[in-house]
Amino acid sequence: MSTHPALTRNQSLVLKALDRADGPLSAYTILDRLRDEGFRAPLQVYRALDKLQEFGLVHRLESISAFVACARPDCHGHEMIAFAICQTCGRVDEFSDEAVQESLSAWVSANRFMPAKTTIEISGNCAACAELTEKA
């Protein structure tokens, strides 16, 4: 668990950019934020992101084509993780639910499917934003 090679310069920079952000970032936004560090091309970002995902330090949110730093500092396994994404404020909640995990595992075994990556994303409005919109 939780072990990965030391990060290279590019990987560290990309991870720091995601850590500093208060929400998910697109690869091109990361690129823009790292221009001053010498970043020039999308590939520099995508390559770093690939490795960081491999290490479990970053997650890709498929439904919005964006990336977030893993919320659980020292738990970089590859378990099943779910995300709640607020369409209004952009805030993302990362959570891991045993019950969801078991239910999906059950289907997977029953169908002899060999899972490689599982995506669970709930888009909607977070508690705070939902409250605001229903007052309108």
Residues near DNA (CB under 7 A) are 5-6, 8-11, 26-29, 38-44, 46-48, 51, 60, 65-66
Does residue 106 bind a copy of itself (CB under 8 A)? Answer: yes
**Rg of the chain's alpha carbons, rounded to an integer?**
17
- Is 8 in contact with 57 (CB distance < 8 Å)? no
Contact partner, 135, from a copy of itself, DNA, none, Cβ < 5-8 Å per class: none
The C-alpha atoms of residue 32 and residue 30 are separated, in whole angstroms, by 5
Between helix 9-20 and helix 42-54 the angle, nearest 10°, is: 80
CB of 131 to DNA, least distance (A): 26
Contact residues: a copy of itself, CB under 8 A: 62-63, 82, 84, 87, 93, 95, 97, 99-100, 102-104, 106-108, 111-127, 130
